[in-house]
Amino acid sequence: MTTRDMLLRHLKKSGEAWISGEQISAELNVSRAAISKQIKKLRDQGYSIESASKKGYRLELDPDLLLPAEIRENLKNRVFGNKDIHYFEEIDSTNTKAKELAEQGAPEGTLVIAESQTLGRGRRGRQWYSSHGKGIYATIILRPNIPPMGAPRITLMTAVAVAKALLSQANMDIRIKWPNDILVKNKKLVGILTEISTEMDAVNYILVGFGVNVNTPTQDFPPEISGIATSIFVETGKVQSRLKLLQACLEQFETYYNMFKQNEFGTILQQWKILSKTMGSRIVVDVLGQKYTGKILDIDDDGVLILKDDENKIHRIFSGDITLQ
Ligand code: BTN
């Protein structure tokens, strides 16, 4: 364990009590100067540490920041959250940053995380509202050995992983809306943005970005989305640890991605259908302005939506926006 880690452990253990530099240096068997250096390092990393003369140091308890060291603590994963984590207090978009890193060769498992986004992106050029410290804004870089046609499966897989993580942390009646929204009572809780870079007939990299509205109160949502967006806090009335939820998302992601790589997409799709609760539902699908009304017959093995319209015609919808009726 490094001096930094031991120091952090001491500060956490002391809770609200002050701990003097002298005491820490004696217990860790390092100089006072080394302690000051490590305190500065921790502060630079985002920890809020109070200091007062004659008292010593005290850590702000449970600030629920998504700091890399906190994400890694007790995380069961080998890859996601355990490789490079790029952490930002504020960034334009974690997907944009991840793209830049992927272009520079960042490996599979690289995670970009931010406390807030100034230009959070959604599908079809929409914006993703990303207020400071209230949600999870994360992007994972993947380099799967699959043809571009297989990429939509990754979106469905991510929706299952995030849905399972949500269910493990909060009691809510969630449903997945094709292809990638997670809703509660028809309001949006989670959005997933999958972006792909291809070379000839192979995938170069895939960026999986997900945004979760965690502790956002209703009045914080901008007026244009306040009627269609929700958060865990709004639905349960309880403040949720973003850190625990992110760790759960990463663990579920690793489980389902391993299944995906072991050609077990069929099992994932089954889970998706159960969590979606929309098989057989009447919907309107908007495909670039063209609207189709009918029933969802199925989601096939490639993640394509099969719609039976009111004239009993079957449509295969690769991408679009659906509205449940
Ligand atoms: C959608 O519902 O249209 C997708 C929203 C995806 C939002 C997330 S937040 C983290 C990542 N970075 C972005 O800019 N977008 C995704």
The pTM (predicted TM-score) of the whole model is 0.91
b/e burial code for range 199-219 (CB count within 10 A of at least 16 → b)? eeeebebbbbbbbbbbbbeee
Helix orientation angle between 21-28 and 3-14, rounded to the nearest 10 degrees: 130
User: For 128-170, how does the pLDDT look when each residue is reduced to its tens digit (9 = 90+)?
Assistant: 999 999 999 999 999 999 999 899 999 999 999 999 999 999 9
Q: Please calculate the CA angle 21-25-26 and round it to the nearest 5 degrees.
A: 120
What local confidence, expressed as pLDDT, does residue 201 receive?
A: 87
211 CB within 6 A, ligand 1: yes
pLDDT of 30 over the 80 cut: yes
What local confidence, expressed as pLDDT, does residue 1 receive?
A: 77
pLDDT of 223 over the 80 cut: yes
Q: Is the dihedral of CA 272, 273, 277, 279 positive or negative?
A: positive
Reported residue count of the chain is: 325
pLDDT of 97 over the 80 cut: yes
Q: Are 16 and 61 in contact (CB under 8 A)?
A: yes
User: For 73-93, how does the pLDDT look when each residue is reduced to its tens digit (9 = 90+)?
Assistant: 999 999 999 999 999 999 999
Ligand 1 center to residue 191 CA distance, Å? 6
Q: Are 179 and 232 in contact (CB under 8 A)?
A: no
DSSP state of 65: -
Q: Look at ligand 1, atom 16, and give the residue with the nearest C-alpha.
A: 209
Ligand 1 center to residue 208 CA distance, Å? 9
Q: Are 191 and 137 in contact (CB under 8 A)?
A: no
Do β-strands 111-114 and 85-88 pair in parallel, antiparallel, or remain unpaired? Answer: parallel
Ligand 1 center to residue 193 CA distance, Å? 5
131 CB within 6 A, ligand 1: no
Q: Are 51 and 36 in contact (CB under 8 A)?
A: no
Ligand 1 center to residue 51 CA distance, Å? 38
pLDDT of 203 over the 80 cut: yes
Residue corresponding to tokens 């901008």: 222
Residue 179, preceding peptide bond in cis (omega within 30° of 0): yes
Ligand 1 center to residue 14 CA distance, Å? 38
CA distance 93 to 206: 16
Instruction: Please report the atom of ligand 1 found closest to the CA of residue 93.
Output: 14
Instruction: Please give the structure tokens belonging to residue 230.
Output: 């929700």
Instruction: Please report the atom of ligand 1 found closest to the CA of residue 120.
Output: 14
Instruction: Please report the atom of ligand 1 found closest to the CA of residue 180.
Output: 2
The helix (run of H) or strand (run of E) holding residue 4 is helix 3-14
What local confidence, expressed as pLDDT, does residue 221 receive?
A: 96
Give me the phi and psi of 148, to 5 degrees please: -55, -35
Instruction: Please report the atom of ligand 1 found closest to the CA of residue 210.
Output: 8
210 CB within 6 A, ligand 1: yes
Ligand 1 center to residue 210 CA distance, Å? 5
Q: Please calculate the CA angle 20-23-27 and round it to the nearest 5 degrees.
A: 145
What local confidence, expressed as pLDDT, does residue 306 receive?
A: 96
pLDDT of 243 over the 90 cut: yes
